[in-house]
Amino acid sequence: MTTKTILEVRDLSASINGVPILKGMDMTINAGEVHAIMGPNGSGKSTFAKVLAGHPAYEVTGGSVLLRGQDLFAMPAEERARAGVFLGFQYPIEVPGVTNSAFLRLAYNTVQGARGRDELDPLEFDDFVQEKLALLEMDPAFLDRSVNEGFSGGEKKRNEILQMAVLEPMLAILDEVDSGLDIDALRIVASGVNRLRTADNAILLVTHYQRLLDHIVPDYVHVMDGGRVLRTGSKDLALELESRGYDWVAKEKAGVAA
Amino acid sequence: MSETLSNGHLDSLLRGQSRLPSSARGWLDALRADALEQANALSVPTTRDEEWRYTDLSPLYQKSFLPAPSAGTVAAQALDACLLPEAGCRLVFVDGHYAPRLSSACADPALGVTSFSDALAGQDPTLQANLARHAPLGADTFVAVNTAWLQDGVQVRVHAGRTAAAPIQVLCLSTRPDVVAYPRLLVVAEADSGCTLVEDYVALHGGEYLTNAVTEVALADGARVRHVRVQRESTSGFHIGTCGVRIGRGAHYLSSAVALGARISRFNLNIVQAAEGAESTLDGLALIGGRQLADMHSLLDHRYAHGRSRQLFKSVVDDEAHAVFNGKIFVHHGAQRTDSSQQSRSLLLSPRARVDSKPQLEIFADDVKCAHGAAVGQLEAEQVFYLKSRGLDEAGARNLLTFAFAAEIVHRIPLPSLAAQLERIVLQQTQKQTSDRNRP
Q: Does A228 have pLDDT greater than 90? A: yes
Q: Does A258 have pLDDT greater than 60? A: no
B41 lies in a domain?
A: yes
Chain B touched by A78 (CB under 8 Å): yes
pLDDT of residue B4: 33
Question: How many whole angstroms separate alpha carbon B260 and alpha carbon B232?
Answer: 5
**Residue B171 CA: distances (Å) to CA of A234, B90, B152, B224, B388:** 72, 7, 15, 21, 42
Chain A touched by B287 (CB under 8 Å): no
- H or E stretch covering A135: helix A122-135
Q: Is A76 in Cβ contact with B388 (below 8 Å)?
A: yes
Question: How many whole angstroms separate alpha carbon A127 and alpha carbon A125?
Answer: 5
B351 lies in a domain?
A: no
The closest of B432, B208, B421, B202 to B316, measured between CA atoms, is B432
Of the candidates B392, B407, B411, the beta carbon closest to that of A78 is on B392
B375 lies in a domain?
A: no
Chain B touched by A82 (CB under 8 Å): yes
Q: In degrees, to the nearest 5, what angle opens at C-alpha B261 toward C-alphas B264 and B434? A: 110
ipTM for this prediction: 0.95
CB B316 within 8 A of CB B354: no
Q: Is A97 in Cβ contact with B385 (below 8 Å)?
A: no
Its domain, for residue B253, covers: 3-275
- H or E stretch covering A71: strand A70-71
**What number is the average pLDDT over the span A48-58?**
97
Final residue of a structural domain among B237, B254, B275: B275
* B139-B144-B150-B155 Cα dihedral, nearest 10 degrees: 0
Chain B touched by A164 (CB under 8 Å): no
Its domain, for residue A106, covers: 5-257
Q: In degrees, to the nearest 5, what angle opens at C-alpha B163 toward C-alphas B161 and B164? A: 140
pLDDT of residue B379: 83
The CATH number that applies at residue A172 is: 3.40.50.300
- H or E stretch covering B127: helix B126-130
**Residue B430 CA: distances (Å) to CA of A230, B316, B399, B406, B426:** 48, 9, 6, 10, 6
Q: Coil, strand, or helix at residue B119?
A: helix
Q: Is A96 in Cβ contact with B392 (below 8 Å)?
A: no
Other CB atoms within 10 A of residue A256 CB: 9
- H or E stretch covering B394: helix B394-410
**CA–centroid distance for A219 within its chain:** 15
Chain A touched by B411 (CB under 8 Å): yes
Q: CA of B423: which chain A residue's CA is closest?
A: A97
Q: Is B405 in Cβ contact with A97 (below 8 Å)?
A: yes
pLDDT of residue B72: 83
Q: Is B388 in Cβ contact with A103 (below 8 Å)?
A: no
Q: Is A54 in Cβ contact with B388 (below 8 Å)?
A: yes
Q: In degrees, to the nearest 5, what angle opens at C-alpha A238 toward C-alphas A233 and A243? A: 130
The closest of B328, B360, B340, B347 to B399, measured between CA atoms, is B347
Final residue of a structural domain among B257, B275, B293: B275
B308 lies in a domain?
A: no
Q: How many domains does chain B have?
A: 2
Least confident span in A13-22, A106-115, B285-294: A106-115
The closest of B268, B163, B129, B160 to B212, measured between CA atoms, is B268
Q: What is the CA radius of gyration of chain A?
A: 18
**What number is the average pLDDT over the span A13-42?**
96
Could you state, in chain order, the average pLDDT of each consecutive group of 10 residues for chain B (440 residues)? 42 50 74 87 86 94 87 90 93 92 91 90 89 88 90 92 97 95 96 98 96 97 98 97 98 98 97 98 96 97 97 96 97 95 94 94 93 87 94 91 91 93 85 54
Task: Give chain A positions within 8 Å (CB) of B403.
Answer: 97-98
**What number is the average pLDDT over the span A131-144?**
91
Looking at the structure, tell me whether residues B261 and B402 fall in a common domain: no
pLDDT of residue B6: 43
Task: Give chain A positions within 8 Å (CB) of B411.
Answer: 97
pLDDT of residue A251: 82
Task: Give chain A positions within 8 Å (CB) of B427.
Answer: none
Q: Is B411 in Cβ contact with A106 (below 8 Å)?
A: no
Chain B touched by A144 (CB under 8 Å): no
**Residue A24 CA: distances (Å) to CA of A27, A220, B19, B231:** 10, 19, 87, 59
Final residue of a structural domain among B275, B300, B316: B275
CB B276 within 8 A of CB B306: yes
pLDDT of residue B40: 81
pLDDT of residue A3: 65
Q: How many domains does chain A have?
A: 1
B142 lies in a domain?
A: yes
Q: What are phi and psi of B241, to 5 degrees?
A: -130, 150
Long-range contacts of B125-128 (CB under 8 A, 24+ apart): B126/B155, B126/B157, B126/B186, B126/B188, B127/B155, B127/B186, B128/B25, B128/B27, B128/B28
Q: Is B407 in Cβ contact with A78 (below 8 Å)?
A: no
Other CB atoms within 10 A of residue B138 CB: 12
pLDDT of residue B14: 53
- Edge to edge, what strands does the sheet with A202-206 contain? A85-88, A171-175, A202-206, A34-38, A220-225, A228-233
